[in-house]
Amino acid sequence: MPTNPPNSFADPASHSIVYQLAFVKKCHEILGRGYQKLQATTLHEAQETEITGELVKSMKQFLESADAPPWTTHFFVADDPPQNAPGRLGKQRRRVDIEFEHAQHGPRPHLHFEAKRLHKSGSVAEYLGDDGLLLFVNGEYAPEQNVGAMLGYVQEKEPTEWIEQIRASLTDSPERYGFHLVPGLVKESLTVHLAETHRSHHDRVKLSRSMGIYHTFLQF
């Protein structure tokens, strides 16, 4: 049975640029609206999976509510879906924490979020490590995509303090993270519902390509 590939006779990138930014913004808009509906302080000591579960539930409620904006009807959000990546089968597969999908017939673009708690001294290492940011950089997550996202669940201190620590770690070891020192970790304004979102850029050596990562910090 034939697939339905785009019949592209010319570079559609000019559309892609605008559309991709819109997609990223929309995903963060849903995230922000879901976060707003949560009683965040009740999750101050919760585990990461519990927070993610509540956050996704809240986002789903927003998407199914009667007052959800029309554009939301194409968006689906799931927590913990397994990821297809070379060399890993079945239960060995990594499971991304949150997945956004633009769903219709045919291709279904995704944006993946990996979440980490920020609550203790080793949290930054976990946030950036093999089970954190490096999952994207090493191509375990989103190997086909150019954009990924990290979520920091701030349970101690202020988001800005964690952001500075993350910036410092990235700047200290740019090669480990494929981190582009220019422009560095840059603040973004994607939606009014999220106060702290930043963007970084990384080389993915194994895939011979690069990607952008959005970092959003939610206070609990």
Partner 1 sequence: MELKELLATLEYDRSPNFLLTDRLAADRDNAHIYRKAGEECGLYGVYALRGSLFGRAQPDIPVIYVCQAESEQEADAIHRKVWNQNTVPFVLVASPRNVRLYSGFKFGRPSQQHLAGQETGILRILTSFNEVASTLKAFRAECVDTGDLWKEWGTTVTPESRVDWKLLENLEELDQWLVGSGIEDRSLSHSIIGKFVYLRYLRDRQILSDRKLEEWNLTPAEVFSRSVSLESFLTLIDRLDDWLNGSVFPIADTKIRQLGIQRLRQVAAVFNGDSVYGQLHLDFEAYDFSFIPIETLSVIYEQFLHAADHESGTSEGRRRGAYYTPVPLVNFMLDQMDVRKPLQPGMRVLDPACGSGVFLVQCYRKLIEQQVRKGNGVRPKPVELRNLLTEHIFGIDRDSDACQIAELSLILTLLDYVKPPDLTQTRFKLPVLSDRNIFQGDAFDDASDWTKAFLKHPFDWIVGNPPWIELHSERLDALDKGAFNWIGRNKNERPTGGNQVAEAFAWRACEWTAREGIIGLLVPAMTFFKYESKSFRKAFFERTDVWSVANFANLAEVLFAGRSRVPAAALFYSCRTAEHERPHSETVEVYSPFVANQVVHDPGGPGRRVEIWSIVVNASEIRDVRYSDILTGDELPWKIASWGTPFDKRLLDSVNQRFPTIANLEEKAVLFLSEGLQLRAKPERNMGEALEPHPELAGKPILDVNPLKKRRYLFRLPQESIVRVPKESTYVRKGRFALPFSVSEPPHVLVGASRSFAVYHDRFLIVPPRQIGIASRDKNHAFLKALALYLNSDFAFYHQFFASPQLGVKRVVSTLRALRHLPVPFQYDNLGSLAPWVKLFQKAQALPENAERFFDNDNEERFNHELAMTLNELNDLTSEALKLDSRQRAAVHDLVHIRMALDDGRVGKVATRPPTKAELQVYAMRLQSELDDFLGEDAAARHRIEVCTDSQSGIVGIELIRDTRQRQPVEILEAGDAAARQFDEARRLLREKRSQWVYFDRNLRIYEGTTTYLFKPFRRMHWAESQAIVDAGEVIAETLQSNDAHLERVAG
Binding site for partner 1 (CB under 8 A): 1-4, 6-26, 63-66, 68-71, 73-74, 76, 78, 81-82, 84, 89-91, 93, 102-109, 144, 146-147, 183, 186, 199, 201, 210-212
Q: How far is the CB of 206 from partner 1 (least distance, A)?
A: 16
Name which of 188 and 196 has its Cβ closer to partner 1: 188
Distance CA 21, CA 37 (A): 24
What are phi and psi for residue 73, nearest 5 degrees?
A: -65, -20
Extract the tokens encoding 12. Answer: 């559609």
Name which of 45 and 144 has its Cβ closer to partner 1: 144
Extract the tokens encoding 189. Answer: 């304004």
**DSSP classification of residue 96:** -
Distance CA 199, CA 92 (A): 30
Name which of 40 and 81 has its Cβ closer to partner 1: 81
Q: How far is the CB of 90 from partner 1 (least distance, A)?
A: 4
Q: Is residue 177 a contact partner of residue 202, using CB atoms and an 8 Å limit?
A: yes
Name which of 118 and 211 has its Cβ closer to partner 1: 211
Q: How far is the CB of 72 from partner 1 (least distance, A)?
A: 8
Distance CA 43, CA 54 (A): 9
Q: How far is the CB of 141 from partner 1 (least distance, A)?
A: 14
